[in-house]
Structure 1
Amino acid sequence: MSSIPSQYMLIASTVGVVFMGIMMMIVRAKSAKKPASVKKIIIPPIAMSTGACMFFNEYFQVPWPQVFEAVTAGLICSTVLIATSKFQIVDDKVYLKPSKAFFFILAGLLIVRTVVKVYLSGTFDLGELGGMFFILAFSMIAPWRVAMLIRFKKLEKQLHLQQD
């Protein structure tokens, strides 16, 4: 597809993912200092879903068995994120409770993702591998955010009952 050698694309995409992971950690740390909201919870997966347009390009299309594997891996990883995302009520507002484990889990997921990506880069085309990792990430983020939304709404309801 491109005149850039695939090993350079692999390195560039890996550096990009590490950078995005670090940015996610920073954003997460800052967001814990502000009250949570439905908007803050649902916008990330909605914004990320636009990336699915990549599958219109044949280069990124993934065979169904690999789709199933990526979704399964994403769902498994989401359980860890769900377990470490808790809310708390502070000054009559709902906040995301900071978790030290979250940073280690995210760093661990980034390391595992990078190692697996480098390992699989010899087996799959880079575009297909990119598609698989998008599916994995979305399958991890969507259930995590749904669980967060459910927990947030329960705490918000509890808060309103306390105020009445």
Structure 2
Amino acid sequence: MVDFNSPILQIGSTVAMLVMALTVIFIRMKASHRPVTVKKIIIPPLAMSTGFLMFVEKQVRIPIWWGIIAFLVGWFIFSYPLIRSTRFEKVDGQIFMQKSRSFVYILLGLLAFRLLLHGYIEQHISIPQTAALFFLLAYGMIVHWRISMYRQYQQITGPEAAM
């Protein structure tokens, strides 16, 4: 049986989260050089939704109100800086994300805050439950951000070009 409260597992999960977050930051910075499409806006939250399969495992389950709160924190708090810093521009008939230094700083700030919050919460509940909470927080954040991106994309391209 795996001891989910072992220090090695806690450090490993934090390092893995840090590596994944930095990878996402790097990918987001490279993406600003490619045109934005509806598929590129919609696919990340759809692909991420497969993460809900984690709740099949009993050790990951959390009270529903914890999940709702985590999702709403992601939706209303964590997504806000991303929404405010994401702007599109039309170049030669194609839509691109405007390059923004603040976007990188916002992603790094969210990462730092998330690591601190993760470390605190991890002391009070199991690692699998912490993972569930942070998945729901991230899911709420990305869904709200991508809905905002889609709306902005529609405004630039017009409703007939959105699909």
Same fold, judged at TM 0.5 (above)? yes
Distance in 2 separating the partners of 1:21 and 1:36:
21
The reply on whether 1:69 has 2:69 as its aligned counterpart is yes
Give the structure 1 partner of residue 153 of structure 2. Answer: 152
Secondary structure of 1:89 counterpart = strand
Letter in 2 for 1:156: T
The separation in 1 between residues aligned to 2:18 and 2:109, in whole angstroms, is: 11
> Which 10-residue stretch deviates more, 2-11 or 21-30?
2-11
The alpha carbon displacement at 1:131 in A equals: 0.3
Q: TM-score, normalised by structure 2?
A: 0.91
Deviation for aligned residue 1:148: 0.4
- 1:49 equivalent in alignment to 2:66: no
TM norm structure 1: 0.91
* Residues 86-142 of structure 1: CA deviation (Å, up to 9, x unaligned): 100111111011111111111111111111111111211111111000000000001
Q: How far does residue 68 in structure 1 lie from its aligned partner after superposition?
A: 2.4
Partners of 1:127 and 1:149 in 2: CA distance? 32
Query: Superposed, which structure 2 residues align to 1:1-164 within 5 Å?
Result: 1-3=1-3, 6-75=6-75, 76-157=77-158
CA shift for structure 1 position 145? 0.5
Aligned length: 160
Give, in whole Å, the separation in 2 of the partners of 1:137 and 1:71: 7
What is the CA deviation profile of residues 27-79 of structure 1, one whole-angstrom value per residue up to 9, with x for unaligned ones? Answer: 11111111110111111111111011000111111112211220121011111
CA distance in 1, matches of 2:32, 2:80: 20
Matched AA of 1:145: R
CA distance in 1, matches of 2:4, 2:51: 22
Are the equivalent residues in 2 in contact too, given 1:6–1:126 (CA < 8 A)? no
In the superposition, relative to structure 1, how do residues 114 and 67 fare at CA in structure 2: closer, same or farther (>3 Å)? same
Q: Secondary structure at the match of 1:36?
A: coil
| SS of the residue 1:95 aligns to | strand
Greater CA deviation, 134-143 or 114-123?
Answer: 114-123
Percent identical residues:
33
Cα distance in 2 for partners of 1:7, 1:63 equals 25
CA RMSD between the two structures: 1.8
* Letter in structure 1 aligned against 2:22: I
